[in-house]
């Protein structure tokens, strides 16, 4: 299999001749990169001037050595020797100061460019629609924020100024040696076009392989992120060897691609080195003949050889710089591909802020399609639904019926394909999204907490909240007591995704966050389904307080929890097939809600296995919530289980 992969890679790396389209695309990508450098062009210009002067001063070195050989050594002149030493020291000091200046200025611009590019990329990511994150792994995005941006940094600063420096050295050196001896210059330059041609031909391969390397790096990051984020699942299924092997496969793919790039570079370097050495040997032979014939002095030949080496250095450096340039272009293609991805639905040019709302929500013939790369998937079809201010609307239905999609449309995470959604008679497509979402609160089933302190997580609902407001929200969410019992209180770090807290604690902090936000519309996605009895009671009490006087949409799977909702909407295959109160829906013969409720009710009443009947039986004890909804807490009978089963 390895041989097959190697053969495939070799086929991909067949040397293509660059065409006009290749160069045009390359420079287009680089021009886009220079947009981030443009604000700092003055600083780079100063660094460039210093760099040019530094390169010109360096060109004086072989000339001084030439004078040293011809005058000081051949004529035994100590005065000339001393002057040459002073000149060499002066050049060294000047180059040291100029080197510091150019390095500092270039580094300053480079770091600023990286910072700006990262911020622009990160800002763009936050403007992407949810469908983008559903199709893209987080590890790949973090790779572009880190690896690709760092690769770009050198291309827009160090690489381009090094290119200027080496170009000055190359052109200056060629002019000097042309004046010294045109015969030797022609000998040396006869080999240069071969090196340049090889460099251009192999550059395209390096660019493609560099992009593949970055893609593989992103794949590795994504694999690691998935496994480490879900480390509890990995350990619970004892899948550590599988995840290690999966990560190892990705690393091996990266190794294979990286080795192909190494091979290309390994071919380029020796070829350029061989050509340079051959040029030097031929120049030495021809120059020796000119010295013997008296057309050149010994010092001039030494200087010519030094200039030849100085010229060979840029030629060799061009290969490395060109490879770095191609890597940066490959990385920039990935970054600009992301920056070029259409962002979230933009506000209309005349969009106005949504004023404080009462909470009247109306769906009018709403149809929604998930537009992915393969096909359009219709999720909602001609939905008509009205929620009046303060009402509790329960959404029920089979899995995949469109319940979550429906509430996502309220917050305008997506726009309807057809129809409209209005809040207080304002079409949400014609108001500013931020003003809309600031008046909507969401408490999901799986609470998302950030890795900071408890205070920071609650304050996320209102960034300028005082400590008194934070504690008041925590008390309303039944969270103040357990927070105060912690060693650091509100300064306690919750860990990544809140891993240091229990499910009930995480949920109550999320409720406190929503209470602090004080939304007019509330969305609850089965916020108590994954909790134990004690936690569910505490969370439900907090939800009761949160839901008062707010328009609330509840996604429910346990129908016993929404029997007293103001209205229940039953979805099936993207359509609302039934609407009404619990009693009205149960009264419908052969209705979907009646069938669903009957199945759940029979399951709850199913007798336990005789062998453990005494220990398994529990009497269902319904409770009343603060807003009048009948809750069936987990005291109902459960199917028989063996002692080894999890509760």
**Which of 342-351, 458-467, 471-480 has the least mean pLDDT?**
342-351
DSSP 8-state code for residue 147? I
The pair of structure tokens assigned to 106 is 């270039």
For strand 623-624 and strand 575-580, is the pairing parallel, antiparallel, or unpaired?
unpaired
CA distance 199 to 206: 10
Beta bridge partners of 395: 555, 569
Average pLDDT of the residues in 550-564:
83
pTM over 0.85: no
79-90 pLDDT, tens digit each: 777 777 787 788
CATH number of 35-339: 1.20.1560.10
Residue pair 297/210 in contact (Cβ under 8 Å)? The answer is: no
Percent share of the chain, pLDDT over 70: 78
Phi, psi for residue 384 in degrees, rounded to 5: -125, 120
Distinct helix (H) and strand (E) counts, the chain = 24, 12
Q: What is the mean pLDDT of residues 377-398?
A: 89
Of these ranges, 23-32, 344-353, 413-422, the one predicted with the greatest mean pLDDT is: 413-422
Whole-angstrom distance between the N-terminal and C-terminal Cα of the chain? 46
- By the 8 A CB rule, do 180 and 301 touch? no
Identify the burial level of 107 via C-beta atoms within 10 angstroms of its C-beta, where 0-12 means exposed, 13-18 middle and 19 or more buried: middle
pLDDT at residue 422, as a whole number:
92
Domain spans, the chain: 35-339, 384-587
Fold of 384-587: Rossmann fold (3.40.50)
- Tell me if 35-339 shares its fold with 384-587: no
* Of 319 and 610, more confident: 319
The stretch 578-592 carries a mean pLDDT of 88
Q: Are strands 361-371 and 426-427 parallel, antiparallel or unpaired?
A: unpaired
pLDDT in tens, 246-255: 888 888 888 8
For residues 336 and 323, what is the distance between their CA atoms, to the nearest angstrom? Answer: 20
Query: For residues 600 and 426, is the Cβ–Cβ distance under 8 A?
Result: no
Query: Which of 14-23, 402-411, 555-564, 607-616 is predicted most confidently?
Result: 402-411
pLDDT interval class at 191 (50, 70, 90): low
**pLDDT per residue over 47-76, tens digit each?**
888 888 888 888 877 877 777 777 766 666
Is the model more confident about 495 or about 417? 417
Phi, psi of 197 (to 5 degrees): -60, -45
Asked whether the predicted pLDDT for residue 619 surpasses 60, the reply is: no
Inter-residue contact 636 to 617 (CB < 8 Å): no
| pLDDT at position 546 over 60 | yes
Question: Which pLDDT does position 577 carry in this prediction?
Answer: 92
- Judged against a pLDDT cut of 60, whether residue 612 lies above it is answered with no
């Amino acid at each position: 299999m390895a041989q097959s992969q190697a053969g495939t890679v070799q086929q991909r790396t067949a040397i293509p001749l660059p065409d006009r389209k290749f160069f045009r695309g390359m420079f287009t990508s680089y021009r886009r990169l220079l947009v981030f450098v443009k604000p700092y062009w003055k600083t780079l210009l100063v660094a460039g001037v210093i760099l040019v002067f530094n390169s010109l001063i360096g060109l004086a070195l072989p000339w001084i050595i030439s004078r040293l050989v011809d005058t000081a050594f051949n004529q035994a002149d100590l005065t000339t020797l001393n002057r040459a030493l002073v000149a060499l020291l002066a050049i060294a000091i000047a180059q040291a100061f100029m080197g510091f200046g150019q390095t500092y200025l270039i580094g300053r611009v480079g770091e600023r460019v990286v910072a700006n590019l990262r911020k622009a990329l990160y800002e763009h990511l936050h403007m992407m629609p949810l469908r983008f994150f559903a199709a893209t792994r987080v590890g790949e995005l973090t790779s572009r924020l880190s690896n690709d941006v760092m690769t770009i940094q050198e291309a827009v600063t160090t690489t381009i100024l090094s290119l200027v420096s080496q170009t000055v050295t190359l052109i200056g050196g060629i002019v000097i040696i042309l004046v010294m001896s045109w015969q030797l210059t022609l000998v040396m330059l006869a080999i240069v076009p071969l090196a340049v041609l090889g460099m251009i031909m192999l550059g395209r391969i390096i660019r493609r392989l560099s992009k593949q390397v970055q893609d593989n790096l992103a794949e590795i990051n994504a694999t690691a992120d998935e496994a480490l984020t879900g480390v509890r699942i990995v350990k619970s299924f004892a899948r550590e060897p599988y995840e290690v092997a999966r990560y190892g496969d990705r690393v091996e793919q990266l190794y294979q691609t990286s080795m192909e790039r190494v091979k290309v570079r390994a071919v380029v370097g020796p070829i350029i080195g061989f050509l340079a050495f051959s040029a030097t040997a031929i120049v030495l032979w021809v120059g020796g003949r000119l010295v013997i014939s008296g057309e050149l002095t010994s010092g001039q030949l030494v200087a010519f050889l030094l200039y030849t080496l100085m010229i060979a250095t840029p030629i060799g450096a061009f290969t490395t710089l060109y490879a770095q340039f191609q890597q940066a272009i490959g990385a920039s293609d990935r970054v600009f591909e992301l920056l070029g991805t259409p962002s979230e639905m933009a506000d209309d040019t005349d969009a106005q802020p949504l004023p404080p709302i009462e909470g009247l929500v109306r769906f009018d013939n709403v149809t929604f399609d998930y537009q992915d790369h393969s096909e359009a998937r219709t999720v909602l079809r001609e939905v008509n639904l009205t929620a009046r201010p303060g009402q509790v609307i329960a959404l029920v239905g089979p899995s995949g019926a469109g319940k979550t999609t429906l509430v996502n449309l309220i917050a305008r995470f997506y726009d309807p394909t057809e129809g409209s959604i209005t809040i207080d008679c304002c079409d949400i497509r014609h108001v500013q999204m931020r003003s809309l979402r600031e008046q909507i609160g969401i408490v999901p089933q799986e609470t998302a907490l950030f890795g900071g302190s408890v205070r920071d997580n609650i304050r996320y609902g209102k960034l300028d909240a005082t400590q008194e407001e934070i504690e008041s929200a925590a008390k309303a969410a039944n969270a103040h007591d357990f927070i105060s019992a912690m060693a650091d209180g509100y300064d306690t770090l919750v860990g990544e995704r809140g891993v240091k807290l229990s499910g009930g604690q995480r949920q109550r902090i999320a409720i406190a966050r929503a209470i602090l936000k004080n939304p007019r519309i509330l969305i609850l996605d089965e916020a108590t389904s994954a909790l134990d009895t004690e936690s569910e009671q505490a969370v439900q009490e907090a939800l009761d307080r949160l839901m008062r006087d707010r328009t609330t949409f509840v996604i429910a799977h346990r129908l016993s929890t929404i029997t007293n909702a103001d209205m229940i909407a039953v979805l099936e295959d993207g359509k609302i097939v039934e609407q009404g109160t619990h009693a009205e829906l149960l009264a419908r013969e052969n209705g979907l809600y009646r069938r669903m409720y009957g199945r759940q009710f029979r399951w709850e009443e199913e007798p336990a296995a005789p062998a453990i009947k005494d220990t398994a039986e529990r009497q269902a004890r319904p409770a009343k919530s603060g807003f009048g909804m009948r809750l069936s807490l987990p005291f109902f009978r459960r199917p028989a289980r063996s002692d080894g089963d999890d509760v």
